[in-house]
């Protein structure tokens, strides 16, 4: 459809210039005005003439009629003027042949404009806090971030995926104290990050109890001890460093299991600790430029002129904060990768934080400041309750995946009695159900996570679209030889399937422009629905008309190709059988 829209825009530009004069609208402007009518009976493409009406001071109805009488394109079977719109009806068979041939020729690269060739994108996503569990709240940054990486790679960008681990901070002082008081090495080696979480929750509860008992919400014995242990860690204490490295190792081993299930690999695991020795240079630069001010002993950058609160760079005790680390990390990454764009995928709650330090980077004179992009997303709650590791109010992703896989396995065992095959399918479909559920929503929408909805296998769900893909595989298994579109006339459902295939490149462009994977997810649902209508209404392999059979098989192959590509772009696997 993209090619046809460009061709139509070019022809309309000539037509408008001929009838109304030069310089009224460019091809690009006309292309942007073309839209899809809400009622397919009106046409497959339309040009609203209201913008021209204002310029020419003529009725949009009159303009549409004038253009109708002089416009011609062999791709359209009918051109009509209705209510100020110039409507175009596509010649079904010719259009379908061009689209399907395009899909089959380009294969898995169909839909890619390769606009990113020669450009580098750095993506900072997932980034869990070490020694804390991988829960449903981490799913957003992880799957949105990786989908954006896959989409950029699809467009030809060189991508660097960075897992900016939360491996530094006062929480490690708490964990060190908790381990020294109550921890056991063997227990943690066997229980992994879950045992570290128990220690973390316990010490937070103990600190809270001490504060309540003393009536002082800022100080407690355990809290003071935790700060002291972290200070020792920052100053290179051997025992604390060894414990810290162990906590990181235990955590990474757990996270890798989840990443493997999602098919995610990172290019870098450089966490917050990596930038500890890189922050002083940035602080000194701020000081030398006169950007640092003292505020009650803390060092800040005043952003009042830009209607933002001050950006804290150093605490009163001289220790650094998140903005300091983020600035140092951005400088290091630009020096290392010379990125054309750096994308940060985090909760919308951090939007002010990013706006602040982005502005500080600009004030520091870094020319690449406008290449920093924050991609926010909404919050996740459980039955309306906010997630909190300290209180243990979380749904662990591994538990969620385990339950989803178990439910799918119950269904698939009937068709796949071989246990290994059954569990392989169940993992792909079970994990896919959770990913699809999440990415079905606009990323800014807050999600109240409901287990039953996420694991439902009816309606517009992950299992439904994966089953549709498996159905295309089943049809193609029964076909031998090459497939190609023929001159055979096509029905409405066949034409609708071809039209749906044709808009895939536009959906990819929109998803990239808006940093919105759900655009691809919604497209997958549209394509699955179009294919299933075609499948139920048209004989494919059993069609007796050889020419028509060839076209229908080609349509099936095209749907198979695009479904596989689209599902991969939202972090989902494509089982051939379900």
Query: CATH number for the domain including 125?
Result: 3.40.50.620
Within a domain: 251: yes
What pLDDT, on the 0 to 100 scale, is given for residue 520? 98
What pLDDT, on the 0 to 100 scale, is given for residue 133? 80
Q: By mean pLDDT, which of 38-47, 300-309, 467-476, 540-549 is the weakest?
A: 38-47
Nearest CA-CA partner of 278 in 357, 236, 335: 335
Residues 80 and 10 in one domain: yes
DSSP codes of every residue in 248-304: HHHHHHHHHHHHHHHT---SB---GGGGGGGHHHHHHHHHHTT-EEEETTEEEE--G
Classified as helix, coil or strand, 186 is helix
What pLDDT, on the 0 to 100 scale, is given for residue 392? 54
Active site residues: 132, 135, 138
Within a domain: 126: yes
Q: Is the pLDDT of residue 552 over 60?
A: yes
pLDDT tens track for 195-229: 998 999 999 999 999 988 887 767 789 999 998 99
Q: Is the pLDDT of residue 126 over 80?
A: yes
Nearest CA-CA partner of 45 in 453, 372, 503: 503
pLDDT tens track for 358-413: 999 999 999 999 999 999 999 887 666 665 555 555 678 888 899 899 999 998 89
Residues 69 and 190 in one domain: no
Tell me how far the alpha carbon of residue 360 is from its chain's centroid: 27
Number of domains in the chain: 2
Measured distance CA(194)–CA(39) in Å, rounded: 55
Residues 45 and 142 in one domain: no
Tell me the pairing of strands 341-347 and 311-314.
Answer: unpaired
Nearest CA-CA partner of 427 in 453, 459, 466, 476: 466
Tokens found for residue 438: 């999440």
Classified as helix, coil or strand, 373 is strand
Measured distance CA(329)–CA(339) in Å, rounded: 13
Within a domain: 196: yes
Q: At residue 394, what are phi and psi to the nearest 5 degrees?
A: -140, 155
Measured distance CA(551)–CA(240) in Å, rounded: 68
Measured distance CA(155)–CA(66) in Å, rounded: 40
H or E element that contains 82 = strand 76-82
Within a domain: 392: no
Residues 159 and 199 in one domain: yes
Within a domain: 250: yes
Residues 81 and 199 in one domain: no
Q: Is the CB of residue 228 less than 8 Å from the CB of residue 173?
A: yes
**Residue where one domain finishes, among candidates 353, 371, 386:** 386
| CA 384 vs CA 393, 394, 431, 446, 451: distances in Å | 11, 12, 23, 10, 13
What pLDDT, on the 0 to 100 scale, is given for residue 318? 80
Residues 225 and 268 in one domain: yes
Q: Please report, for the domain that includes residue 18, its CATH number.
A: 3.30.1360.70
Domain that holds residue 129: 120-275+322-386
pLDDT tens track for 556-574: 999 999 999 999 999 999 9
Q: At residue 538, what are phi and psi to the nearest 5 degrees?
A: -125, 135
Residues 143 and 267 in one domain: yes
pLDDT tens track for 474-508: 999 999 888 899 999 999 999 999 999 999 999 99
pLDDT tens track for 313-323: 998 878 788 99
What pLDDT, on the 0 to 100 scale, is given for residue 263? 93
Residues 235 and 378 in one domain: yes
SS3 content of the chain, % helix, strand, coil (to 5): 60, 10, 30
Tell me how far the alpha carbon of residue 161 is from its chain's centroid: 13
pLDDT confidence bin for 278, thresholds 50/70/90: very high
Within a domain: 158: yes
Q: Which residues contact 526 (CB under 8 A, 6 or more apart)?
A: 500
- DSSP letter at 393 equals B
Nearest CA-CA partner of 361 in 396, 397, 335, 324: 324
What pLDDT, on the 0 to 100 scale, is given for residue 419? 93
Within a domain: 522: no
Taken in order 52, 56, 60, 62, the sign of the CA dihedral is negative
Residues 25 and 128 in one domain: no
Q: Which residues contact 566 (CB under 8 A, 6 or more apart)?
A: 504, 520, 523, 524, 527
Measured distance CA(506)–CA(419) in Å, rounded: 41
**Helices then strands, each counted (H, E), the chain:** 22, 13
Measured distance CA(496)–CA(327) in Å, rounded: 50
**Residue where one domain finishes, among candidates 330, 355, 386:** 386
Within a domain: 366: yes
Q: Which residues contact 34 (CB under 8 A, 6 or more apart)?
A: 5, 8, 9, 45, 46, 47
Q: Which residues contact 419 (CB under 8 A, 6 or more apart)?
A: none
Residues 229 and 336 in one domain: yes
**Residue where one domain finishes, among candidates 331, 351, 386:** 386
pLDDT tens track for 413-438: 988 989 999 999 999 999 999 999 99
What pLDDT, on the 0 to 100 scale, is given for residue 531? 98
Residues 237 and 360 in one domain: yes
Q: Is the pLDDT of residue 452 over 90?
A: no
What pLDDT, on the 0 to 100 scale, is given for residue 564? 98
What pLDDT, on the 0 to 100 scale, is given for residue 382? 66
**Residue 481 burial by Cβ neighbours in a 10 Å radius (0-12, 13-18, 19+):** exposed
Listed in order, strand segments (DSSP E) in 83-193 are 85-90, 120-124, 158-162
Mean pLDDT of the chain: 92
Stated pTM of the model: 0.90
Measured distance CA(197)–CA(438) in Å, rounded: 25
Tell me the pairing of strands 380-382 and 385-386.
Answer: antiparallel
Residues 30 and 138 in one domain: no
Q: By mean pLDDT, which of 121-125, 290-294, 452-456 is the weakest?
A: 452-456
Residue 35: strand pairing partners: 46
What pLDDT, on the 0 to 100 scale, is given for residue 482? 84
Measured distance CA(562)–CA(524) in Å, rounded: 9
Q: Is the pLDDT of residue 338 over 60?
A: yes
What pLDDT, on the 0 to 100 scale, is given for residue 386? 62
């Amino acid at each position: 459809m993209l090619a046809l829209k460009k061709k139509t825009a070019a022809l309309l530009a000539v037509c408008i210039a001929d009838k109304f004069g030069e310089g009224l609208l460019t091809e690009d402007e006309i292309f942007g005005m073309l839209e899809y009518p809400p009622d397919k009976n009106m046409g497959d493409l339309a040009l609203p003439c209201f913008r021209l009406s204002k310029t020419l001071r003529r009725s949009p109805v009159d303009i549409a009629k004038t253009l109708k009488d002089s416009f011609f394109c062999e791709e359209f079977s009918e051109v009509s003027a209705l209510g100020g719109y110039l409507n175009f009806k596509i010649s079904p068979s010719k259009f379908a042949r061009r689209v399907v041939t395009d899909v089959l020729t380009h294969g898995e690269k169909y839909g890619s404009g390769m606009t990113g060739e020669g450009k580098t994108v750095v993506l900072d996503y997932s980034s869990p806090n070490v020694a804390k569990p991988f829960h449903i709240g981490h799913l957003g940054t992880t799957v949105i971030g990786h989908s954006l990486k896959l989409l950029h790679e699809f467009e030809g960008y060189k991508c660097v995926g960075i897992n900016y681990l939360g491996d530094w901070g006062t929480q490690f002082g708490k964990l060190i104290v908790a381990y020294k008081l109550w921890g056991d090495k063997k227990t943690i080696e066997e229980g992994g990050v879950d045992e570290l979480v128990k220690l973390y929750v316990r010490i937070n509860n103990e600190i809270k109890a001490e504060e309540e008992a003393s009536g002082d919400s800022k100080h407690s014995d355990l809290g003071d001890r935790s700060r002291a242990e972290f200070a020792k860690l920052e100053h290179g204490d051997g025992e604390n460093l060894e414990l810290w490295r162990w906590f990181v190792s235990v955590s990474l081993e757990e996270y890798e299991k989840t990443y493997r299930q999602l098919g995610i690999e990172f290019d870098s695991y450089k966490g917050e600790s990596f930038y500890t020795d890189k922050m002083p240079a940035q602080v000194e630069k701020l000081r030398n430029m006169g950007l640092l001010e003292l505020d009650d002993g803390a060092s800040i950058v005043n952003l009042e002129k830009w209607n933002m609160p001050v950006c804290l760079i150093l605490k009163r005790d001289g220790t650094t904060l998140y903005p300091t680390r983020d600035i140092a990390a951005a400088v290091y990454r630009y020096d290392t990768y010379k990125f054309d764009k750096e994308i940060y995928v985090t909760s919308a709650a951090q939007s002010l934080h990013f706006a602040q330090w982005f502005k500080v980077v600009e004030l520091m004179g870094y020319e690449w400041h406008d290449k920093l992009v924050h991609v926010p997303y909404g919050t996740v709650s459980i039955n309306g309750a906010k997630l909190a590791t300290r209180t243990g109010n979380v749904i662990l992703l591994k538990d969620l995946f385990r339950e989803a896989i178990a439910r799918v396995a119950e269904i698939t065992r009937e068709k796949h009695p071989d246990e290994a095959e059954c569990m392989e399918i169940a993992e792909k479909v079970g994990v896919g159900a959770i990913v699809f559920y999440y990415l079905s929503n606009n990323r800014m929408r807050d999600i109240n996570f409901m287990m039953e909805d996420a694991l439902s296998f009816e309606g517009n769900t992950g299992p439904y679209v994966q089953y549709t893909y498996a159905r295309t595989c089943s049809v193609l298994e029964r076909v031998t030889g090459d497939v190609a579109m023929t001159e055979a006339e096509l029905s409405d459902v066949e034409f609708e399937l071809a039209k749906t295939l044709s808009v895939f490149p536009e959906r990819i462009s929109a998803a990239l422009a808006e940093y919105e994977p759900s655009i691809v997810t919604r497209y997958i649902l549209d394509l699955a629905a179009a294919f299933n209508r075609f499948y139920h209404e048209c004989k494919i392999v059993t069609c007796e008309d050889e020419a028509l059979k060839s076209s229908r098989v080609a349509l099936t192959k095209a749907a198979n190709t695009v479904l596989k590509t689209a599902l991969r772009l939202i972090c989902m696997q494509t089982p051939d059988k379900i």
